[in-house]
Amino acid sequence: MSDLSRLFAPERIAVVGATDREGSVGRAVMTNLLSEFDGEVVPVNPTYETLFDVPCLDAVADADADLVVVVVPPKLAVEVVREAGESGVRAVVVITAGFGEAGGEGVARERELAAVADEYDIDLVGPNSLGVLSTRSGLNATFGPRGALPGDVSFMSQSGAFVTAVLDWAAERELGFVDIVSLGNEAVLDESAFVEFWGEDPETDVVLGYLEGIEDGERFVRVAREVTRETPVVLVKSGRTEAGAHAAASHTGSIAGSEAAYEAGLEKAGVLRAESVEELFDYASVLAGQPLPEADGVAVVTNAGGPGVMATDAVGDSGLDLASFSGETMDALRERLPDNANVYNPIDVIGDAPVERFADALDVALADPNVGAAVVMSCPTQTLSFDDLAEAVVDLRAKHGVPVAACLMGGASTETAEQTLAEAGIPSYFDPARAVRALDALRSYREVRDAERAEPERFDVDRERAREVLSRAADRGESRLGVEAMGLLEAYGIPIPEGEVVDSPAAAERRAAELGGDVVMKIVSPDILHKTDIGGVEVGVPLEDVRDTYEDLVSRARRYQPDATLLGVQVQELLDTDAGVETIVGTNRDPQFGPLVLFGLGGVFVEVMEDTTVRLAPVTGAEAREMIDEIRAAPLLRGARGREPVDEASVVDTVQRLSQLVTDFPAILELDVNPLVVTPDGATAVDVRLTIDPDELETADEPAAEPETASDTATHGGER
Amino acid sequence: MSDLSRLFAPERIAVVGATDREGSVGRAVMTNLLSEFDGEVVPVNPTYETLFDVPCLDAVADADADLVVVVVPPKLAVEVVREAGESGVRAVVVITAGFGEAGGEGVARERELAAVADEYDIDLVGPNSLGVLSTRSGLNATFGPRGALPGDVSFMSQSGAFVTAVLDWAAERELGFVDIVSLGNEAVLDESAFVEFWGEDPETDVVLGYLEGIEDGERFVRVAREVTRETPVVLVKSGRTEAGAHAAASHTGSIAGSEAAYEAGLEKAGVLRAESVEELFDYASVLAGQPLPEADGVAVVTNAGGPGVMATDAVGDSGLDLASFSGETMDALRERLPDNANVYNPIDVIGDAPVERFADALDVALADPNVGAAVVMSCPTQTLSFDDLAEAVVDLRAKHGVPVAACLMGGASTETAEQTLAEAGIPSYFDPARAVRALDALRSYREVRDAERAEPERFDVDRERAREVLSRAADRGESRLGVEAMGLLEAYGIPIPEGEVVDSPAAAERRAAELGGDVVMKIVSPDILHKTDIGGVEVGVPLEDVRDTYEDLVSRARRYQPDATLLGVQVQELLDTDAGVETIVGTNRDPQFGPLVLFGLGGVFVEVMEDTTVRLAPVTGAEAREMIDEIRAAPLLRGARGREPVDEASVVDTVQRLSQLVTDFPAILELDVNPLVVTPDGATAVDVRLTIDPDELETADEPAAEPETASDTATHGGER
């Protein structure tokens, strides 16, 4: 990793395109830099002798700067960066717009800019950036109207306007920052670079971001997954619902669209998500200022019953629980509180409580090992000063090392108290739900920190056989496979029903007789994906009807699509689905995050109930188990209403094997096993649909011993 | 309705128990009243000659007051109210605590207080109330630390502490009120009384409330349903999740618990629900200050792309849509905006936009008939003053009469602008989601206002036969009925499968032969409710197995519960459920809101997927149709994946008939039809479970011609 500290803590900055013209970007940048920066600022512009009383240079090469800020017109910008690079500069911020975002020749210009940065190994922010700020050195290399206060969080944004908005908003609330970067078009440095840098930066306690998209999702996940072990990352990711609406859903209607990929990707990366700027900074302040809860139980201490009920609701909505107090806690509370107080959680110290009583109750509650966090709530009363309460809360938080949030339910009268709490990192809000959400963010981050970052299991599979199945289809120039893909599943150890594809009524009858009992018969054609819809599947066919059914299936298929290639009819053993649950396991490939694996309730329900969950491949055993937990229909698998529980381990196994398959073969674009029938005896893939990219087959992830050819690599890289 | 204006606009107030003792409630009330009240304040306390320089009377009877505020100790309070009533006072606020909330003799005392109020026809607030405020007359008859500013909303709260919190909070935000009441124990006047009064009050534009419970839910719904035709009512109802957790769920695990009843009740009442105090007042200010949207399309006008995406997300999360602009609108926008602006919605006027460009874009957008509301968003820029923008927005809102919300995305620099907007009733928030939610509240209220308040349809049913079925069970002293309850459904015109209950293997075989084809056989016992769990149901029994199956069912039942009363075995035609969807229609009785009707996906899914929805009975046709719309599985009924759509009208019919049944017979405590199999040809109730209260049967809602006896009425009333 390159050391981005050159961007945030330079000693000498050159501003190329500096000017004093009113209303210009160059003037704004110069003014901001000159106001507080600890080091030297060198304006570069051949048309001036001096600017703001500082000697003005003709060329960036003469500036001997360790950071160059570029505000020249777009046509000149690339040349300026090259000059800077040639003269040894390794950190550049390109504020100039008119690159990729402008389309047309801007796109080529941006590519050229990236190439120059690459050639000279320059850490380049932008182009089309508002600039960078850092309170480490009083640096404000932006053209925004406002600087930042010092603090312990760093912030990146894909919207420059959003940076100005956040700075204005944060100033009013006295929220501080370490570094801020407006990412611009991300020609070189992107969100992953800054997450990585801040993750190792001792000054930055929390990494915050506003993102609209993550170009290289796989890299982001890899980087952030490491960083979040020690440093919380909180993001507002916009475009949630638009993404949802535009999601190119596979025919199941529920397989991961782009928003699902972001959700899965950010989850795997251990990133916390905030829905608003308010939430972003609520989480930031609590993560920067408070210890993590060691238990999920919350104690609520209040001087009014109604608000206590609201806090209880909020706890119920969160991932936290209302703590159950130990017997000692209740005894101690009974001893210290008046008779009409409530010693159960929420603890009601009653409206006439002085600060001592409040503190007593909180002291007892925080000592209970079931209590991982506390909410202290107070309405305005005659017997209690918010200021005294705040001081007591700060002391008790310090004494017990348990995170606390406050609800001081008043207006202006809470001001000093909130200040006292804020200085100790204790958030205080009127709304109990907001206080509880902040504590819940601590719990979420504790789970991220503690999560095992296990490597996925590698199963012993018949990779060669899988390759053959795919190659055969590719050789026929086909991109969609139906039941023939069963061989692929078999090669990867996923159980399939006994049966085979036959090409005559007589062969069908013979096979059915061997299987014994009623059978399932399905038309096999790469051109007919939704077999059920055209009557292409018959379930429970008795032996005497097998010949006729063969003819029926073929004629229905012919009627539906006269030119369809018919490969025959599959004759399959009939599974006792009554004893099982129909599920779906599917995969598709996200352009940003790579292969995704979906699990959910199958059959007609996959579409209608949308009871599915998604993870990025490769999926670990722990993740596969989480996926089962997450679907609403989980109790069906676990024996609801006296049914025998199914073999969950077989689902976990199947999900992982499918994940391995799609990871091994980039040629697999989409693969749905639907239904995967799960019974107490195991899981069986009853039907499968597969879409491949025949051209990708050659570039499948080979063992290291078989190097890819140069041309293959180039094609591959270009497509990513 | 009594005229509660005596409470809020009295001319002469007596404070019984007035005192000047430091820290006392009596002193606080006197001080508050003397500070701003327009009329006269008369202290009553035999131990003083004067108080605060006002002559102090010995007895309330001498005060000639039209409002009496009671702060004497609880033992004296009832007598004071009686004296006041005898002297002609008709409005009393009892601040004194120590009544029902204290338990013990307080409960009896509260009953006595209510009886006295009833005897003298007194409008009584409390006991255990913080008091009442009204800005109509400068009245502050509370012991709280703060008064209220004048405004156009009225507020009631079941928590007095919450009133003090809200007043402190509102003061900081300069939010005003008409009347405020702390409801206390609601011995006489409850939330319904104030909703009714404020609904007719020309000063009150919006009714707000914080409630923890509604004692007489049926009355509340009746009253609020009328009021919300013209006056919005917004409530924070706490205890959502606790209620959910403690819900005494029926065996299906999903039939309405108490929170579901509140949800259904408030929905029927047309009440909007807020989740926090912030949301409560956000909704209040937009409802008081803005016109209602005539279309659901929202135009977003922004000077920065990123925030525009956030607003789009927020619109997607709401009941509103992103508006599609007409061709004329786009042409006009193209003409007026620079080339690099975005004329699609969200409209991006670009960061360099002056106020004129912003105003042009908004002017064009608001004229589009697809636009029912607009969000104006601005990040801080050098080319635009928030203040100018605010003035332009106020003018354009007035010109077009379309509701607008603003997102001025900054901190202190937005203050004047927000003031300008607030004065015009236009909300402004940093967070786009909050702005969109406020606009969405307008849409919700428009739907409430426009909703048809239709009377439920009355079907021609065989009520006598239904009564007979219930009486037979009641005569046997049984409270639970299984398949025998089928007769009840038949009497109310709900189709049931052909079949009958037989008591011998031979009779079973005879009946099966008559039905033809395979049959369904079920054990019939009032003691075995979950027949499936004990193997008490066999589906698809061929004729030759009917005799054996009869024996099997009986012996399984014997094994399960040796002492169970076995009434026989039901032999039933086998419905082709493959062509149908299993649904559930159920009812139970909520202590506050009366009978509830549930509809949802049936079979094993009712429990696991919880895909159900609830309405208060009686359910109208329109409501029954909404219920179908609301379940996630609705597409299954409408022919997902090429299935034939089912007969939805038969579901609507069944739901209404069941609603009528449970309304007609208060003896029916719980009734589940599960499954109700719905096919393209209609709905059939395949199984039913029923719990009755045999004692209620006598008091079933008779036609008016048969008056209830006095003693019946008394019992009945006491139980409610």
Cα–Cα distance between B97 and B75 in angstroms, integer? 10
Nearest residue in chain B measured CA to CA from A431:
B276
- List residues bridging with A67 in a β-sheet: A13
Q: Indicate the pLDDT class of residue B252, thresholds 50, 70 and 90.
A: very low
| Segment 308-337 of chain A within 8 Å of chain B by CB | 309-310, 312-313, 315-317
Of the candidate ranges A442-446, B36-40, B103-107, B254-258, the one whose mean pLDDT is the lowest: B254-258
Could you tell me if B570 and B581 lie in one domain? Answer: no
pLDDT of residue A716: 35
Q: Hey, what are B523's tokens?
A: 């054990």
Specify if A480 maps to a domain: no
State percent of chain B over pLDDT 90: 65
| Segment 552-611 of chain B within 8 Å of chain A by CB | 604, 607-611
Could you tell me if B599 and B551 lie in one domain? Answer: no
DSSP string, B211-273: ES--SSHHHHHHHHHHHTTTS-EEEEE--HHHHHHH----TTS-S--HHHHHHHHHHHHT-EE
CB contact at 8 A, B437 and B318: yes
Q: Hey, what are B59's tokens?
A: 């007895």
Closest chain B C-alpha to A380 CA, distance in angstroms: 6
Q: Quick count: other Cβ atoms within 10 Å of Cβ A116? A: 24
Query: Both ends of chain B: CA-CA distance in Å?
Result: 22
pLDDT of residue A247: 27
Ramachandran region of residue B375, left (φ > 0), alpha (ψ -120 to 50) or beta?
Answer: beta
Q: Is B409 on the interface with A (CB under 8 A)?
A: yes
Q: Is B465 on the interface with A (CB under 8 A)?
A: no
Q: Tell me which of A573, A601, A623 is where a domain ends.
A: A573
Q: How far is CA B100 from CA A134, B97, B126, B184, B185, in A?
A: 61, 9, 10, 10, 7
Contacts of B577 in chain A (CB under 8 A): none
| Segment 432-451 of chain A within 8 Å of chain B by CB | 433-434
Across residues B554-558, what is the average pLDDT? 89
The CATH number of whichever domain residue A224 belongs to comes to 3.40.50.261
Of the candidate ranges A108-117, B13-22, B608-617, the one whose mean pLDDT is the lowest: B608-617
pLDDT of residue A32: 95
* Interchain CB distance below 8 Å, A604 and B379: no
Q: Is A236 on the interface with B (CB under 8 A)?
A: yes
Q: Is A172 on the interface with B (CB under 8 A)?
A: yes
Closest chain A C-alpha to B711 CA, distance in angstroms: 38
**Ordered strands of the B233-237 beta sheet:** B139-142, B131-134, B179-182, B153-157, B206-211, B233-237, B272-273
Does an H or E element contain B541, and which? strand B537-541
Could you tell me if B569 and B583 lie in one domain? Answer: no
Contacts of B557 (CB under 8 A, 6+ apart): B523, B525, B528, B534, B536, B564, B566
User: What is the per-residue pLDDT across B58-102, written as a single tens digit (0 to 9) for each?
Assistant: 999 999 999 999 999 999 999 999 999 999 999 999 999 999 988
pLDDT of residue A622: 93
DSSP string, A385-410: -HHHHHHHHHHHHHHHT--EEEEE--
Cα–Cα distance between B169 and B167 in angstroms, integer? 5
Specify if B440 maps to a domain: yes
Q: In this structure, is the dihedral angle defined by the CA atoms of residues B98, B103, B109 and B113, taken in order, positive or negative?
A: positive
pLDDT of residue A142: 95
Cα–Cα distance between B634 and B601 in angstroms, integer? 9
Q: What share of chain A is helix, strand, coil (3-state, %, to 5)?
A: 45, 20, 35
Cα–Cα distance between B556 and B521 in angstroms, integer? 13
| Greatest Cα pair distance in chain A | 101
Cα–Cα distance between B685 and B674 in angstroms, integer? 7
Closest chain B C-alpha to A451 CA, distance in angstroms: 29
**Residue with the two structure tokens 């200010």:** B285
Could you tell me if A228 and A310 lie in one domain? Answer: no
**Full domain range(s) for residue A620:** 577-699
* Interchain CB distance below 8 Å, B304 and A242: no
User: What is the per-residue pLDDT across B307-325, written as a single tens digit (0 to 9) for each?
Assistant: 888 898 899 889 999 999 9
Specify if B493 maps to a domain: no
Contacts of A379 in chain B (CB under 8 A): 161-162, 164-165
* Interchain CB distance below 8 Å, B351 and A161: yes
Q: How many CB pairs under 8 A join A and B?
A: 216
pLDDT of residue B581: 87
Burial class (CB in 10 A: 0-12, 13-18, 19+), A414: buried
Q: Quick count: other Cβ atoms within 10 Å of Cβ A336? A: 17
Specify if B714 maps to a domain: no
Low-confidence ranges of chain A (pLDDT < 70): 1-2, 240-257, 577-578, 604-606, 641-642, 698-720
Specify if B253 maps to a domain: no
Q: Half-sphere exposure (CA, 13 Å, Cβ side) for B275? A: 12
Contacts of B169 in chain A (CB under 8 A): 409-411, 430
Contacts of A640 in chain B (CB under 8 A): 604, 607-608
Contacts of A210 in chain B (CB under 8 A): 306
| ipTM for the complex shown | 0.85
CB contact at 8 A, A597 and A619: yes
Could you tell me if A160 and A274 lie in one domain? Answer: yes
Could you tell me if A420 and A271 lie in one domain? Answer: no
Q: Is A25 on the interface with B (CB under 8 A)?
A: no
Nearest residue in chain B measured CA to CA from A611:
B609
Contacts of B307 in chain A (CB under 8 A): 159, 161-162, 165
Could you tell me if B426 and B330 lie in one domain? Answer: yes
Q: Is the pLDDT of residue B18 over 50?
A: yes
Q: Is B47 on the interface with A (CB under 8 A)?
A: no
- Beta strands at B131-134 and B179-182: parallel, antiparallel or unpaired: antiparallel
Could you tell me if A603 and A642 lie in one domain? Answer: yes
Q: Is the pLDDT of residue B621 over 90?
A: yes
Domain count, chain A: 4
Backbone torsions φ then ψ of A263, nearest 5 degrees: -60, -50
Contacts of A171 in chain B (CB under 8 A): 411-412
Could you tell me if B398 and B445 lie in one domain? Answer: yes
Q: Tell me which of A573, A588, A619 is where a domain ends.
A: A573
Does an H or E element contain B83, and which? helix B74-86
Backbone torsions φ then ψ of A563, nearest 5 degrees: -95, 10
Mean pLDDT of chain B: 88
Q: From the list A28, A164, A380, which residue is nearest B168 (CB)? A: A380
* Interchain CB distance below 8 Å, B165 and A380: yes
Q: From the list B165, B240, B412, which residue is nearest A172 (CB)? A: B412
Q: Tell me which of A573, A594, A619 is where a domain ends.
A: A573
Nearest residue in chain B measured CA to CA from A240:
B313
CB contact at 8 A, A672 and A255: yes
Could you tell me if A43 and A166 lie in one domain? Answer: yes
User: Which of A350, A385, A430 to mutate to test binding with chain B, by most B CBs within 10 Å of its CB?
Assistant: A430
Residue predicted with more confidence, A536 or B362: B362
Q: Indicate the pLDDT class of residue B246, thresholds 50, 70 and 90.
A: very low
Specify if A715 maps to a domain: no
Cα–Cα distance between A10 and A41 in angstroms, integer? 10
Cα–Cα distance between B531 and B518 in angstroms, integer? 20
Could you tell me if B566 and B592 lie in one domain? Answer: no
Q: Is A380 on the interface with B (CB under 8 A)?
A: yes
Specify if B256 maps to a domain: no
Across residues B611-619, what is the average pLDDT? 93
| Segment 85-104 of chain B within 8 Å of chain A by CB | 102
How many Å separate Cα B187 from the centre of its chain? Answer: 22
**How many contiguous H segments (helices) and E segments (strands) does chain B have?**
25, 32
Q: Indicate the pLDDT class of residue B437, thresholds 50, 70 and 90.
A: very high
The CATH number of whichever domain residue B624 belongs to comes to 3.30.470.20
The CATH number of whichever domain residue B510 belongs to comes to 3.30.1490.20
Cα–Cα distance between A507 and A546 in angstroms, integer? 10
* Interchain CB distance below 8 Å, A609 and B633: yes
Q: Hey, what are B403's tokens?
A: 């509701």
pLDDT of residue B641: 64
Closest chain B C-alpha to A88 CA, distance in angstroms: 34
Specify if A471 maps to a domain: no
Backbone torsions φ then ψ of A308, nearest 5 degrees: -60, -40
Q: Indicate the pLDDT class of residue B531, thresholds 50, 70 and 90.
A: confident
Q: Is A719 on the interface with B (CB under 8 A)?
A: no
pLDDT of residue A246: 33
Could you tell me if B329 and B228 lie in one domain? Answer: no
Across residues B280-306, what is the average pLDDT? 93
User: What is the per-residue pLDDT across A191-247, written as a single tens digit (0 to 9) for each?
Assistant: 999 999 999 999 999 999 999 888 899 999 999 999 999 999 999 988 766 432 332
